[in-house]
Structure 1
Amino acid sequence: MTQEIELIQDGDGLAVIGDSAAVERFLAAEQLPSRDLGLHRLGPALMGGSAALQAASQISESSGRWVKLTRESAALKGKYSLMAGSQSDLARAVVTDKGKIKGILEIVPGAKVNPAMLAGAAGLMAQLAMQQTMDEITDYLATIDQKVDDLLRAQKDSVVAEMIGVDFVVEEAMTIREAVGKVSEVTWSKVQGTSMAIARTQGYTLRQLDALAEKMERTTKLGDLAKTTSEAERAVREWLAILARCFQLQDAIAILELDRVLDAAPDELSDHRRGLAVARQNRRELIAKSSQRLLRRMDAAATDANSKVLLHPTTAPAIVRASNEVAGAVSEFQSRLGIDDERQALEARAWGVAASEARDKVLRTGAEGVDAARALGSEGIDAARTLGSETLGRAKAARGRLTSGLAERVSRRRGGDDEVESQD
């Protein structure tokens, strides 16, 4: 057995394949935690044809470990110049342990990975990535102390209650797979009809989250908004727990499905794996869309509450706190599902700060008012003086016209009197 190590990377993880000792030295040098890839499961499925036999022989001599894609493991792509694989969503390289210094590895140019083995390893990697997410969801549910079974039993809606039976069926199939090492036709026949029930529950749960967002959007009074956000804080956690369990069960079914395809139609494994990856990403995006809408409404409620803290010193901070609690729950949920979240927590506006800002605003407004009054007063005095001068001028002119008119009338009257006297 050579000291070559195969590195295969997809969008979720890194597979390290080769001699067991070399693989362990590599992982120790890079300080990467890993789990067994399960290459032995590929052997029985690759027993037909010369290429498949070669792959089966290579598998029997190899050890494989899987590493979750993190910032550290993703950096290996640049460090070891992983090249595009025979499948567009894979990158691969072969490195050799030179034995001189522990952890120093060298690229072997022109190395090729057996296509049959690459397809099988990619399928195993997809399964382990989904198993990793399932484990993280289990930890998430334990952290938030939500017993999904109790939540499902408490639901009166038949759509959600149906999940109890689905849970039992899928868990049983996963137990059999773990014991037998594959998924038989009998086991798969029990599971394949459960996907619809899970999809209905997921759709119903997403509608409940949308309904909470719409309710907050319709609520305008701060008192009612405080009550709504408080109710949402608990309800959101419960619906997210059920939604997480739906995603977990869908991943479990996908794992079983890949095993079934590997056993029944290994040539179709690569296409089937890619199809499941697309469907999984679509589910993530659908969940992200509903959860982000809810977060936007919670942020809007918190922002509105902060603007009114002066008049509502206890209600407003309660709304902001509830908003941050819901956002924290959604952020934790999204991280377990591999959904990015860049939302920043909002800070409740203190009453004292709001009062100081209001006082400063009043003082600024008052100062501006005094300046305006002064300007207006100065302008008023000038206007009054101008008006007084104009009025006095008009009064003098009017008096002159009045005096002139009286003189003319007196003159005419005297002239008439003289004419009367001359006639006499």
Structure 2
Amino acid sequence: MASDGATVQVFETQDGLLLFGDEDALVQIEDHSLTPVKKISPQQVARVAGYVGVAAGDAMANSGRWVKLTAESAEAVKKAGGVGKVASGVLRGDKGKILQHLKLDPLSAGALATPTAPAVLGGMAAQYAIEAALDDITAYLEIIDAKLDKLLKQRKTQTLGQLGGVTAVIDEAASIYEQTGRVSSTTWSKVQSNSLALATMQHEAIAELAALAEEVARSAGDADQAAKVLGEAADDAQFWLGVLARCIALQDRQYVLELARVFDEGPEQVDSHRQGIEIARADRVRRIEQALRDIAASVSESAALSNLSTVVNPLSAPRVARRAGAITTHVATFAQHADLQVAGIEVASTPWRRAARGLFDETSTAVGGAGASAVGRAKGAGQRVGKFRDDRVLRRARKIEEKRGLGADDDQP
């Protein structure tokens, strides 16, 4: 635990908290934070210290951290009495106890030395907030990277070359920025043209996902066709979600470099530029969320087979459920790592025996007007079907497929 009397300067922004002060105290905060924490580079700490005044600047010159404020932790800080009580909202020691022995000194905008200081600090917080989001989407890419690379090479699309070229240029600029803490005009000249390529690739990925949703929707109601379309769509969905994830990651890295460049050109422009980036990212979220909702809805509709369709298609029906489930898993995993809100990503399926019973219940209801004897016969048939084993039905269905020359596929039950 930090020593008694350690002082931490706290500045609150809409993108999280900036904490500056003694490194030992900040390590304790990092170890016990309930929300993500990122270390602020020494170069950035030294640069912003000059904007906040001599006394605060001396305290800041040691070290710094960015702390994410979730909606829950922000409410906890508010109830505790403001950022001076930040430990109540984002820090917990052993067994949930609030950390003590830290003097948390809020930096108010009015106490800062220059009019541009709040904008500079806000821009810094925005950079680290984007980097935190970048960590999440990078984790998703680590899950699917091998398969995505394989799919890219198989398709030999123009997207492969564009992604590789943009990645190489941003990697170089990011490496220079990490070493120097600055984005010079020379470095920026190499990356500034990336925006058009990234926007084009992102638009292509969203358009392909939209087309995929439409194709899947057209197969609804036909178990055989749905099984075929969903089987092809599973790889397509993962491919374009992977391309989209790489575009998001590259665009966010570009935004970090962009903010750093604006910081060098003129701190007074940082706030307006930060707001512009926030609007652009919000618009990106809106468009991607809509694309994912469309896919989820079309897959759910395609997988919603009637009892009759399930009974007469004992092989295709379970394939529809499995393949639809694979697509929704891809979508849900992507949405989770991209911090997107896409509700209703699920697939409902009905086992063959339950569908058979349901079908005969429906039949019983339909012939109810024909008299009690007809109802009795229908229910009796339903009971007999209910006793009929799934595997016997599937064996017979496979034999029919073999006679037709259809063969078996990789994911047959």
TM-score, L = length of structure 2: 0.76
1:68, 1:129 within 8 Å by CA — same for their partners in 2? yes
Residues 159/253 of structure 1: CA separation in 2 closer, same or farther (3 Å cut): same
The residue aligned with 1:382 is none
Match runs of 1:148-167 below 5 Å: 148-167=148-167
The residue aligned with 2:194 is 194
Instruction: Pick the aligned partner of 1:94 from 75, 80, 84.
Output: 84
The residue aligned with 1:15 is 18
The residue aligned with 2:381 is none
| 1:137-173 CA distance string (max 9 Å, x none) | 2221221344545444444443553222111111111
Residues 312/136 of structure 1: CA separation in 2 closer, same or farther (3 Å cut): same
| 1:198-225 CA distance string (max 9 Å, x none) | 1111111111111111212333533122
2:6, 2:25 within 8 Å by CA — same for their partners in 1? no
Unaligned 5+ runs, structure 1? 83-92, 374-424
What is the deviation of 1:279? 0.6
| 1:345-377 CA distance string (max 9 Å, x none) | 22310111111122223334444421699xxxx
The residue aligned with 1:285 is 286
The residue aligned with 2:10 is 6
What is the deviation of 1:335? 1.8
SS in structure 2 of the partner of residue 341 of structure 1: coil
Write the letter of the residue equivalent to 1:335. Q
| 1:37-80 CA distance string (max 9 Å, x none) | 23641544675xxx665488356445321223446644443343
What is the deviation of 1:102? 4.2
1:34, 1:68 within 8 Å by CA — same for their partners in 2? yes
SS in structure 1 of the partner of residue 19 of structure 2: strand
SS in structure 2 of the partner of residue 94 of structure 1: helix
| 1:182-203 CA distance string (max 9 Å, x none) | 2111111100011111111111
| 1:248-301 CA distance string (max 9 Å, x none) | 000011010111111111111111111111111111111111121111111110
SS in structure 2 of the partner of residue 14 of structure 1: strand
Distance 1:53 1:75 in 2: 30
Q: Percent of aligned positions with the same letter in both sequences?
A: 30
Residues 189/344 of structure 1: CA separation in 2 closer, same or farther (3 Å cut): closer
1:309, 1:351 within 8 Å by CA — same for their partners in 2? yes
2:216, 2:230 within 8 Å by CA — same for their partners in 1? yes
2:139, 2:337 within 8 Å by CA — same for their partners in 1? no
Distance 1:206 1:19 in 2: 46
Residues 102/209 of structure 1: CA separation in 2 closer, same or farther (3 Å cut): closer
Write the letter of the residue equivalent to 1:35. K
What is the deviation of 1:238? 0.8
2:219, 2:226 within 8 Å by CA — same for their partners in 1? yes
The residue aligned with 2:126 is 126
The residue aligned with 2:40 is 37
Matched, 1:180 2:184: no
| 1:92-112 CA distance string (max 9 Å, x none) | x33499xxx843879879955
What is the deviation of 1:242? 0.6
2:310, 2:317 within 8 Å by CA — same for their partners in 1? yes
2:300, 2:348 within 8 Å by CA — same for their partners in 1? no
Write the letter of the residue equivalent to 2:167. D
| 1:323-362 CA distance string (max 9 Å, x none) | 2211111111122222112225223101111111222233
1:149, 1:164 within 8 Å by CA — same for their partners in 2? no
Residues 340/96 of structure 1: CA separation in 2 closer, same or farther (3 Å cut): closer
Distance 2:106 2:132 in 1: 32
Residues 171/155 of structure 1: CA separation in 2 closer, same or farther (3 Å cut): farther
Which shows bigger deviation, 103-112 or 364-373? 103-112
TM-score, L = length of structure 1: 0.74
SS in structure 1 of the partner of residue 18 of structure 2: strand
Residues 243/348 of structure 1: CA separation in 2 closer, same or farther (3 Å cut): same
Matched, 1:315 2:319: no
Distance 1:168 1:68 in 2: 29
- The number of residues matched between the two structures is 356
The residue aligned with 2:90 is none
SS in structure 2 of the partner of residue 239 of structure 1: helix
Which shows bigger deviation, 338-347 or 72-81? 72-81
Residues 107/38 of structure 1: CA separation in 2 closer, same or farther (3 Å cut): closer
Matched, 1:103 2:100: yes
2:45, 2:63 within 8 Å by CA — same for their partners in 1? no
Match runs of 1:56-71 below 5 Å: 57-58=57-58, 60-61=60-61, 63-70=63-70
The residue aligned with 1:419 is none
The residue aligned with 1:269 is 270
The residue aligned with 1:391 is none
1:29, 1:103 within 8 Å by CA — same for their partners in 2? no
1:55, 1:116 within 8 Å by CA — same for their partners in 2? no
Residues 125/61 of structure 1: CA separation in 2 closer, same or farther (3 Å cut): same
Residues 52/110 of structure 1: CA separation in 2 closer, same or farther (3 Å cut): closer
Distance 1:64 1:109 in 2: 14
The residue aligned with 1:207 is 207
1:302, 1:320 within 8 Å by CA — same for their partners in 2? yes
Residues 56/79 of structure 1: CA separation in 2 closer, same or farther (3 Å cut): closer
Which shows bigger deviation, 318-327 or 260-269? 318-327
Residues 147/360 of structure 1: CA separation in 2 closer, same or farther (3 Å cut): closer
What is the deviation of 1:29? 5.7
The residue aligned with 2:356 is 355
Distance 2:359 2:340 in 1: 41
SS in structure 2 of the partner of residue 165 of structure 1: helix
Residues 307/146 of structure 1: CA separation in 2 closer, same or farther (3 Å cut): farther
The residue aligned with 1:296 is 297
SS in structure 1 of the partner of residue 304 of structure 2: helix
Residues 7/153 of structure 1: CA separation in 2 closer, same or farther (3 Å cut): same
